Amino acid sequence: MEAEAAKLLGAGLAAVGAGLASLGVGNVFAKYLEGALRNPGAADGQQGRLFIGFAAAELLGLLAFVVAMILIFVA
């Protein structure tokens, strides 16, 4: 396998992480809504954890995107 092909293959695999991050964000919000509908009184106390989970999932997606860009343009 040529070096250029391996670089692009690695970037494509790293970009999969960005797509999986969107699944993570959807899962975070789905579980929050599920819990809020079951116990509306506790929903306000869980909102901070909702945003922490959202930020963590987005961070991983952005990190995967940055790794893909580094593999394409720098390496």
- Of the candidates 57, 50, 47, the residue with the CA atom closest to the CA atom of residue 18: 57
- The secondary structure of 9-25 as a DSSP string is HHHHHHHHHHHHHHHHH
pTM of the entire predicted model: 0.74
b/e for 40-72, b at 16 or more Cβ within 10 A? Answer: eeeeeeeeeebeebeeebbebbeebeebbeebe
pLDDT tens across the length of the chain (75 residues): 788 888 888 888 888 888 888 888 899 999 999 999 999 988 888 889 889 989 988 898 899 889 888 888 887
**At the topology level of CATH, where does 3-74 sit?**
F1FO ATP Synthase (1.20.20)
Which pLDDT belongs to residue 33? 92
Which pLDDT belongs to residue 37? 92
